[in-house]
């Protein structure tokens, strides 16, 4: 394929702050785990897909629970709030555990989802947005076809 660039499991990103190898960081809505130490503003390779072990807060995770990134604390958390959704817990983790194994989603996360992310969709309101072209009334109606109207 002519337009294939790379697998996208590791991205070259600009460190938004000083990061250490193995630490999580957020660039816009991209979450990654640094493959090496980097000073703020320099290039760093970041793992965006796969399973990674990262530091967490006191959150308790059941297997499969959604995991968010608290960029202020620089830790994984179960608190939704304005935190970035980064993946789900591979295994259960207790309050005293320092880390959580996260299956990274590898897609842009979403911040501020009150009940987590379920399905992305758009709500179309015909009264506000108008009918799409396929549903707009036709200027000249179809001629009456008696054989279609028979009961």
Closest CA to 76 of 47, 99, 96: 99
- Cβ-based neighbour number of residue 141 at 10 Å: 7
Residue 88 maps to a domain: yes
pLDDT the model gives residue 120: 41
Contact (Cβ atoms closer than 8 angstroms) between residue 30 and residue 84: no
**Residue 56, in any domain of the structure:** yes
- For residue 61 the two structure tokens come to 């995770």
The pTM assigned to this predicted structure is 0.71
User: Around Cβ 62, how many Cβ atoms within 10 Å?
Assistant: 11
Number of domains in the chain: 1
* Residue 76 belongs to a domain: yes
93 in a structural domain: yes
Flag whether 137 is in a domain: no
Rg value, the chain, Cα: 24
Please tell me the predicted confidence (pLDDT) of residue 118: 43
Residue-level pLDDT at 2: 87
Q: What is the 3-state secondary structure (H, E, C) of 13-72?
A: EECCCCECCCCEEEECCEEEEECCCECCCCEEEEECCEEEEEEECCCCECCCCEEEEECC
pLDDT at residue 1, as a whole number:
82
Which position has the token pair 């009334």? 137
| Residues in the chain where the model's pLDDT stays below 70 | 108-151
DSSP state of 78: S
Range of the domain at 15: 10-117
pLDDT at 87: 94
CB 65 within 8 A of CB 93: no
C-alpha to C-alpha distance for 57 and 95, rounded to whole angstroms: 8
């Amino acid at each position: 394929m002519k337009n294939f660039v790379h697998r996208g499991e590791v991205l070259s990103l600009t460190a938004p702050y000083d990061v250490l190898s193995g630490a999580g960081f957020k660039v816009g809505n991209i979450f990654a785990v640094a493959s090496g130490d980097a000073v703020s503003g320099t290039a760093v390779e970041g793992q965006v897909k796969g399973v990674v072990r990262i530091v967490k807060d006191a959150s308790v995770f059941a297997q499969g629970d959604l995991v968010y990134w608290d960029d202020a604390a620089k830790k994984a958390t179960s608190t939704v709030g304005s935190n970035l959704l980064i993946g789900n817990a591979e295994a259960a983790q207790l309050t005293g555990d320092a880390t959580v194994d996260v299956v990274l989603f590898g897609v842009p996360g979403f911040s501020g989802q009150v009940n987590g992310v379920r399905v992305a969709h758009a709500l179309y309101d015909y009264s506000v947005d108008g009918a799409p072209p396929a549903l707009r009334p036709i200027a000249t109606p179809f001629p009456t076809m008696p054989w279609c109207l028979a009961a």
